[in-house]
Structure 1
Amino acid sequence: MSAASAQPAELKKKPISFSNILLGAGLNLCEVTTLGQPLEVIKTTMAANRDFSFLQAMKHVWSRGGVFGFYQGLIPWAWIEASTKGATLLFVSAEAEYQFKKAGLGNFGAGIMGGVSGGVAQAYLTMGFCTCMKTVEITKQKSAGAGAVPQSSWAAFKDIYKKEGIRGINKGVNAVAIRQMTNWGSRFGLSRLVEEGIRKVTGKTNPEEKLTAAEKILASAVGGGLSAWNQPIEVIRVEMQSKKEDPNRPKKLTVGSAFKYIYQSSGLKGLYRGVTPRIGLGVWQTVFMVGFGDMAREFVAKLTGDKPTAKH
């Protein structure tokens, strides 16, 4: 064997283009406007009202506006979040995954670290105030008394900003960062792990061989569903951002004090309230991004003349 043939394949960096940014924003907007936000609303309702069953949560959401109740917080907060977080995730995770591979990590390790890096960037750059305001919208009191008009979403934002400033509208951002870091680390890493398992089973040992659409969806669905193991962080995040009246809740919550309060008041089960819709949301997000990803890539390529390189 010659020295040249023994050399490992050169690691190429995936370029980040306008197509990647457009693709990430477009896919996330479609995902959240379909099943994404209804599952988010049910999940948040169960996390904030930990005595609710799944059915009770659905009835409660319905009582807050019928079908539209399931889309509380969609406009503008979920749309702002969706149109920015996808671009942030794709840009940062792709760059980080390349750098970690360059440092010697394999697909699994680099996938986890790329997801972790993208998740942290999402939380602090785009998601902090959006998740806070979505939770405020979902948990605030709807009735405003006889003859009074309930506070609008923008009015709530201005009111919180006036009273508490930047910290108020970014309440719970550290919990969001922990959630996103573990979330996308799990999704990317587990999806890569399942992909490698599928390759072994199907005999696709050559990295250049592409997985079928069904195989990609299966890998992403498993990764998305299993990423719900960190649900306690999500319940803590909701508790820190919730506007539900609770006289027993400590006034100034940190991640630690919120964990202690939830555990003392609701036990271990309380820390996993909303995990069922969370699993559904994780599967839907990843299946949507993969299942429609190829069609979206082709459309964006025709629209811009660029060939998007982003994966799910």
Structure 2
Amino acid sequence: MPDLSSLQVVGTKAAEESRLESRKPSRKPIDWTNLGLGAALQLFEVTTLGQPFEVIKTHLAANRNDTLLEAVRKLYARGGLAAFWTGLVPWAWIEAATKGAVLLLTQTETTFYAQHVMGLSPGWSAAVGGMAGGVCQAYTTMGFCTFMKTVEVTRSRSGPGKDMSTWQVAFDILKRDGIAGMYRGVNAVALRQLTNWGSRFGLSRATEWIFRRNDPERALTTSERLASSVIGGALACWNQPIEVIRVEMQSAMKREDWPQNRPVNMWSVARWIYQRNGIRGFYRGVTPRIGLSVYLTSVMVFGGDQLKERVAARREARRLQRESSASSSSAA
């Protein structure tokens, strides 16, 4: 006859294991629709106001003695309104169609694990997710696209090569410098994206928490969500020095006073910018970048949340409809 005390111990252990198992977070299935949503949102953003902000910001970061008004005038003189969309086709479109998808997918998955496996708060989880998404963007899809957009904005439109198409410019760089040449400054891009999206998502979620105050379960209003995205986007521009260094590393402008035989890395470029322009040089282009960041964050964070909720609601509606149809058939 089995020992009752042994059976009780076995039963207790089984119950404890079952309880611990139930507390483990189930792996969130990858939602592949995030790829399509991210790409669509990013394409919309860059085709509307995103690229003009990007072009003005890049011009100011490369031409650090120009004012904002001078930058607008010079760009318009280069090609009218179309000049503000320089680099849109194909580089900005390629970048947008890929980096938006990478961002939303990586950010969503990383945020889940940071919160439910690592035990981080929602705000810190969002920040970690944004940092992971930003780094993945830089090394997978953004490297050569960001480089070519900067080349198109900063290259001379007079003299030799002025009539070269953007494809000819790209092939010339590939022939001269290889693949590495197309990814010049990619580490600066990665650092910028890491701090960009870590700040944008983290600060946006932190602002949402402030709006909720002592009621963490309260649903935010549309205006509160939008305000959170705007605040997060604007405050994320604290890393403008990284962006100026990145633009200088990828610029096609000829610098006659660049010291010969000096290695081109983030540190050497930062020292050179400081020697020529001082601290203020690191913040050239910050005004249009704030506009870009607010617009981009509003589209990707606020717009992304709205679209994901709509997709989830439609899925739930379809599931309920299928269940209703199945129960009606069985009843008949």
TM-score w.r.t. structure 1 length? 0.88
Q: Partner amino acid for 2:133?
A: G
Give the conservation status (yes or no) of the 8 Å contact 1:19–1:301.
no
Structure 1 moving runs of 4+ over 2 Å: 8-18, 249-252, 288-302, 304-307
Aligned residues: 297
TM-superposed deviation, 1:109: 1.7
More helix by share: 2
Matches within 5 A, 1:42-191: 42-101=56-115, 102-144=117-159, 150-191=163-204
Q: 1:210 and 1:13 mapped to 2: Cα distance?
A: 25
Give the conservation status (yes or no) of the 8 Å contact 2:50–2:295.
yes
Q: Partner amino acid for 1:277?
A: P
Q: 1:245 and 1:215 mapped to 2: Cα distance?
A: 46
Q: Decide whether aligned partners of structure 1 residues 193 and 291 sit closer, same or farther in structure 2, where only a CA change above 3 A counts.
A: closer
Q: Flag structure 1 segments of 5+ consecutive residues without an equivalent.
A: 308-312
* Residue 257 in structure 1 maps to residue 268 in structure 2: yes
Q: Please state whether the residue corresponding to 2:283 is helix, strand or coil.
A: coil
Larger RCO, structures 1/2 (Cα 8 Å, 6+ apart) = 1
Q: Partner amino acid for 2:284?
A: R
Give the conservation status (yes or no) of the 8 Å contact 2:173–2:182.
yes
Q: Please state whether the residue corresponding to 1:271 is helix, strand or coil.
A: helix
* Residue 222 in structure 1 maps to residue 231 in structure 2: yes
TM-superposed deviation, 1:18: 3.1
Give the conservation status (yes or no) of the 8 Å contact 2:31–2:105.
no
Q: Decide whether aligned partners of structure 1 residues 189 and 44 sit closer, same or farther in structure 2, where only a CA change above 3 A counts.
A: same
For each residue in 1:110-145, what CA deviation from the matched residue of structure 2 results, as whole angstroms up to 9, or x when unmatched?
111111111111100011111000000000011246
Q: 1:18 and 1:109 mapped to 2: Cα distance?
A: 24
Q: Give the structure 2 partner of residue 243 of structure 1.
A: 252
Q: Percent identity?
A: 50
TM-superposed deviation, 1:246: 1.3
Root-mean-square deviation (CA, aligned residues, Å) is: 2.6
When Rg is computed on C-alpha atoms for both structures, the one with the higher figure is: 2
TM-superposed deviation, 1:288: 2.3
Q: 1:93 and 1:297 mapped to 2: Cα distance?
A: 13
TM-superposed deviation, 1:10: 6.8
Q: Give the structure 2 partner of residue 310 of structure 1.
A: none
For each residue in 1:205-226, what CA deviation from the matched residue of structure 2 results, as whole angstroms up to 9, or x when unmatched?
32xx321211111111101110
Q: 2:301 and 2:120 mapped to 1: Cα distance?
A: 24
For each residue in 1:30-81, what CA deviation from the matched residue of structure 2 results, as whole angstroms up to 9, or x when unmatched?
0000000000000000000000110001011111110000000000000000
